Amino acid sequence: MADAWPALCTLAGLLLLLFVIIRWQLNAFVALLVASIGIGLAAGMSPIVVAETVSNGIAGIMKEVTVILALGAMLGRMLEASGGAEIIAQKLIGLFGQKRASLALLVAAYLVGLPILFNVGFLVLMPIVFRLQKQSGQSLLYFLLPVSFSLGITHSLVPPHPGIVGAVQILSGEKALPAPSTKGKVHAAEAMAPASAAERTPPNQVMVQTIVFGALMSLPITLAGWLGPGRWWARRQHVECPEQLAGFTATPATTLHASFSAALTVVMLPLLLSLIGFGAKLLDRLGHLPAFMTEPPIDPDAVSTPLRFVAHAPLAWLEFLGTPTMALLLSTGLAFWLLGAGMNRQQMAKIADKALLDVGSILFLFGAAGGFKEIIVQSGAGGYIAREVARLPISRVATAYLVSAMVRAALGSATAAILTASALLVSVAQSMPGQEVLLVLAVANGVTFMTQPADSGFWMVKEYGNITVRDVMLKFNACRIFMSLFGLAMLLAYELLFL
């Protein structure tokens, strides 16, 4: 019972967290902070240790995610302000043709959704959705659903979106837990053996791999949702544009400064740089890189200090450019240069300022989630949860997915849900060295399970889609559940075949 007490305190704290957020509408940052302190004190930690643990957790996650979130927000805002997102959609509709406009919008929203937040991308693409519905006379659902599906999936599965960035940082922490008790089944104890630094994947590498595999997963998941239940629903329910919103957004307010090639380059560059860095490191591990790629071109000792940078191997430069910070920094700089050609410095400065305001409140939520995670680990609740998960007769990937889906259904907010679920599963991740990306994607996929009235996206789909609350709760969520389970099937297939 003593071992289980911190976990019981965590369960009580989680229930209290859900109650104050849902019933009292308490701010998630404050709720997480109060729940963290309450769990620590109830679990028997001394008051000063609780305060220090929460502070350490906040500092640990904030130092990792701040730059990535800020750069990602700036990149997204520049795409919106320059009209780059709309240019991509218009060009793809021209390439696909009017008859395949729904697929063109799906691909456009996928590309736009890689760096742009759901709400921003949704509002940017709505004028095109409304125009297509009026021109074609088809149900609005033919154009709204592909956009909603693509933006929703990429928002949850692909960094630099806030939730998945936080999940990577929480679940890839390198601090190992003490070895668990040998009581119980042998395989559970072995599964929970602390991982050495060599066995665990560095957090920066987990981020790169999550960008690559999250982007690769997102497109087939979205296609499955649209070509399956989405198109079936659109054929059976005719919906017209909501006139009060269609008239307001019929003429986009932004001036289009961007070209298609520039906008596409900016959108794809973070993914391409991540692929290059990840691919180079993978080829090096497999021994397929030529010697000149892994060896410095000249002796470092033969170069003066100011020119020492020329003495690094090409592989080191490729890995450097493929890190999330550098990939986003280069992409953001290129966005302001290429897409901001028709703007003055004051306009670009305002865009950057607005982007930082976008992530300001999110950063505080991240900090509280980091403190929550640290309390769970240090109180011993995390170790107990991980041991019990290891004894379950189902996959740990499936368990992580179920935990995440349940938290999303309860909290509503995708960002708050993925951070809370990740904090609960951090010790499970520590029991799976080298498989952190798989667990991160399982948690991220779980939060795509459904939407509910506490989520702003719920109301955006309802109002702009001109459908009822019942339609969103039943039909739209049926599509979301189908896509979420499709993603889980992909992860379970990978786990079965390769692990």
Residue 253 has pLDDT above 70, yes or no: no
pLDDT tier for residue 308 given thresholds of 50, 70 and 90: low
Range of the domain at 192: 5-498
Residue 161: burial class (beta carbons within 10 Å; 0-12, 13-18, 19+)? buried
Between CA 435 and CA 397 the distance in angstroms is: 10
DSSP 429: H
252 has pLDDT over 70: no
Q: What is the pLDDT of residue 69?
A: 86
Please give the pLDDT value at position 14: 84
Residue 443's pLDDT is what? 96
**pLDDT above 70 covers what percent of the chain?**
89
CB neighbour list of residue 206: distance below 8 Å, 6 or more residues apart: 168, 171, 172, 436, 437, 440
Provide the pLDDT confidence category of residue 192 given band limits of 50, 70 and 90: very low
Given a cut of 50, whether residue 434 has pLDDT beyond it is yes
225 contacts 149 by C-beta, under 8 angstroms? yes
Give residue 100's pLDDT.
Answer: 92
Q: What is the pLDDT of residue 26?
A: 81
Is the separation of the CB atoms in 317 and 260 below 8 Å? no
Mean pLDDT to the nearest integer, 44-53: 93
Whole-number mean pLDDT of the chain?
A: 85
pLDDT in tens, 104-113: 999 999 999 9
| Mean of pLDDT values over 107-129 | 89
Six-digit token string for 165:
């960035």
Q: What is the pLDDT of residues 126-158, one digit of tens each?
A: 889 998 998 889 999 999 999 999 999 999 999
Average pLDDT of 252-279?
81
The answer to whether residue 197 scores a pLDDT higher than 50 is: no
How many distinct structural domains can be found in the chain?
1
Q: Which of 6-10, 427-431, 473-477 has the highest mean pLDDT?
A: 473-477
Reference 443, options 419, 459, 427; nearest CA is 419
Name the residue with higher pLDDT: 52 or 304.
Answer: 52
Report how far Cα 347 is from the mean position of its chain's Cα atoms.
29
The more confident residue out of 202 and 320 is 320
398 or 427: whose pLDDT is higher?
398
428 or 107, higher pLDDT: 107
> Residue 278 and residue 36: Cα distance in Å, rounded?
36
pLDDT band at 303 (very low <50, low <70, confident <90, very high): low
Phi-psi label, residue 117: left if phi above 0, alpha if psi -120 to 50, beta otherwise:
beta
176 pLDDT higher than 60: no
What is residue 234's predicted lDDT score, i.e. its pLDDT?
A: 96
Reported as a single tens digit per residue, the pLDDT across 267-277 is 999 989 998 98
Which of 180-184, 383-387, 425-429 is least confident? Answer: 180-184
pLDDT value at residue 455? 80
78: buried, middle or exposed (CB in 10 Å: 19+, 13-18, 0-12)? buried
Q: What is the mean pLDDT of residues 193-221?
A: 80
pLDDT of residue 194: 38
* H-run or E-run covering 226: none
Indicate the DSSP class of residue 297: S
Flag whether pLDDT at 345 surpasses 70: yes
The residue-averaged pLDDT of 344-364 equals 87
Structure tokens at 104: 């063109």
How far apart, in whole angstroms, are the C-alpha atoms of residue 78 and residue 356?
12
**What is the predicted pLDDT for the residue at 120?**
83
pLDDT tens by residue, 457-491: 888 899 899 999 899 999 999 999 999 999 999 99
DSSP class of residue 181? P
CA 346: distance to chain centroid? 31
For residue 207, what pLDDT band results from cuts at 50, 70 and 90?
Answer: very high
Residue whose C-alpha is closest to residue 40's, from 378, 397, 316: 378
The least confident of 66-75, 133-142, 208-217 is: 66-75
pLDDT level of residue 254 (50, 70, 90 thresholds): very low
